């Protein structure tokens, strides 16, 4: 039986609606999962028009009306008059609110077990904050929405190379003070669990240093000696295959060359810059720690090409297929 995947529209002012239409045009995508689209129908149809795709849908008013036996895709229409008036390529609180409405409903459906996973098209964080996000980012908003108490974090995946983070969307000056052995161990444990859900039997994890040259024996900071190395030892004591801390200027070469499956970075750009340089056009973000898988393409809303039918659907396709595979793996393990 196919997993049921909730597919969320993304920011209406960006390339999300176009990407959704292109994604649904793929036979491979429709064969991988039963799909429930959550979108304002007008936004959905506008995306189809830009992409030049005619996507047959079974429009429904509630998720309970979904007919999973039909070949047409279920579209849960979430009407929003304000989002119909937004200007393409311009940050909008109305678009941010429409995202929160669709995203929140999709999270509710996954929590209730009506869908097995969630894939969303690119959000715009500024728009979401204008609409009252009230959290650090969408992963923490999702954590609050579903009532999850354990750690929730974002992973970036490029062609089989994974990157995790200890801290994420925080000012760089706060990173060092937020690091602790407990936070690093929790990040490594979540990385180990997430990669196993993605099909790795025994993930190999490399933990990054914070300072240049891994602190150079304490001459350029002591976080490696006092926090990171002890955290790595604690994680190894849990039978997790992890090593470090490694200087970040060579760590990602080890991941690229296959010595490790996943890097755990200490802060956002430490890993993001490296992993995106290795293959931005293939990137997937995995938001892990929830009771269900959640993925999205790793790029943003691309305001500069909105409405031009130039959006590359490959990251969205990879994100969807990964979500479907992770949902199927979870279901098989639970059986």
pLDDT at 335: 67
Say how far apart CA 216 and CA 206 lie, in whole Å.
18
CB 316 within 8 A of CB 19: yes
Strands 34-39 and 4-8: parallel
Between CA 116 and CA 33 the distance in angstroms is 10
Q: Taking the CB of residue 300, how many other CB atoms lie within 10 A of it?
A: 14
d(CA 86, CA 88): 6
Q: How far is CA 312 from CA 20, 93, 266, 301, 309, in A?
A: 11, 26, 30, 12, 9
| Residue segments in the chain with a per-residue pLDDT below the cut of 50 | none
Any idea how long the chain is? 335
Task: Say what angle helices 181-197 and 229-237 make with each other, to 10 degrees.
Answer: 50
Bond prior to 245 in cis (omega within 30° of 0): yes
Distance CA(268)–CA(190), nearest Å, equals 16
CA dist., res. 111 & res. 237, Å (int): 33
The string of pLDDT tens digits covering residues 116-163 is 999 999 999 999 999 999 998 999 999 999 999 888 999 999 988 999
* Cα gap 267→169, rounded to integer Å: 8
Asked whether 265 and 91 are in contact (CB, 8 A), the reply is no
Element (H, E) at 31: helix 27-32
pTM: 0.90
Which residues are 6's β-sheet partners? Answer: 36, 118
| Short-list 277, 319, 313, CA closest to 298 | 319
Q: Identify the CA nearest to 2 among candidates 62, 105, 71.
A: 71
DSSP letter for each residue of 247-309: -HHHHHHHHHTTS-SEEEESSHHHHHHHHHHTTGGG-EEEEESSSS-EEEESS---GGGTTTT
Residue 26's DSSP bridge partners are: none
* β-sheet with 242-246: strand ranges across: 57-60, 73-77, 34-39, 4-8, 117-120, 294-297, 284-288, 153-158, 161-165, 262-265, 205-208, 242-246
Tell me the two tokens of residue 267: 């802060």
**Whether the Cβ atoms of residue 313 and residue 297 lie closer than 8 Å to each other:** no
């Amino acid at each position: 039986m196919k997993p049921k995947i909730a597919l969320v529209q993304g920011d209406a002012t960006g390339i999300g609606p176009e990407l959704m239409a292109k994604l649904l045009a793929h036979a491979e995508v429709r064969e991988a999962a039963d799909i429930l689209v959550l979108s304002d129908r007008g936004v959905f149809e506008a995306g189809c028009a830009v992409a030049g795709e005619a996507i047959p849908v079974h429009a429904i008013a509630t998720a309970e009306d979904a007919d999973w036996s039909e070949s047409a895709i279920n579209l849960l229409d979430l009407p929003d008059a304000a989002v119909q008036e937004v200007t393409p390529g311009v940050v909008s609180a109305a678009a941010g609110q429409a995202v929160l409405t669709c995203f929140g409903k999709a999270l509710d459906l996954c929590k209730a077990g009506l869908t097995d996973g969630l894939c969303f098209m690119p959000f715009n964080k500024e728009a979401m904050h204008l609409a009252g996000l009230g959290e650090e980012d969408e992963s923490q908003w999702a954590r609050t929405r579903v009532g999850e108490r354990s750690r929730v974090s974002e992973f970036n995946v490029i062609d089989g190379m994974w990157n995790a983070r200890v801290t994420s969307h925080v000012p760089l000056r706060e990173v060092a003070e937020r690091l602790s052995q407990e936070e690093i161990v929790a990040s490594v444990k979540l990385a180990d669990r997430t990669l196993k859900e993605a099909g790795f039997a025994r993930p190999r994890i490399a933990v990054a240093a914070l300072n240049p040259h891994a602190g150079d024996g304490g001459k350029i900071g002591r976080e490696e000696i006092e926090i990171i190395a002890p955290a790595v030892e604690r994680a190894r004591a849990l039978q997790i295959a992890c090593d470090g801390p490694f200087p970040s200027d060579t760590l990602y070469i080890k991941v690229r060359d296959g010595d490790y499956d996943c890097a755990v970075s200490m802060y956002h750009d430490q890993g993001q810059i490296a992993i995106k340089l290795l293959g931005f056009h293939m990137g997937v973000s995995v938001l892990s720690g929830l009771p269900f898988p959640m993925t999205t393409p790793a790029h943003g809303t691309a305001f500069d090409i909105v409405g031009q039918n130039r959006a590359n659907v490959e990251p969205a396709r990879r994100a969807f297929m990964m979500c479907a595979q992770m949902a199927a793996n979870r279901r098989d393990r639970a059986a």
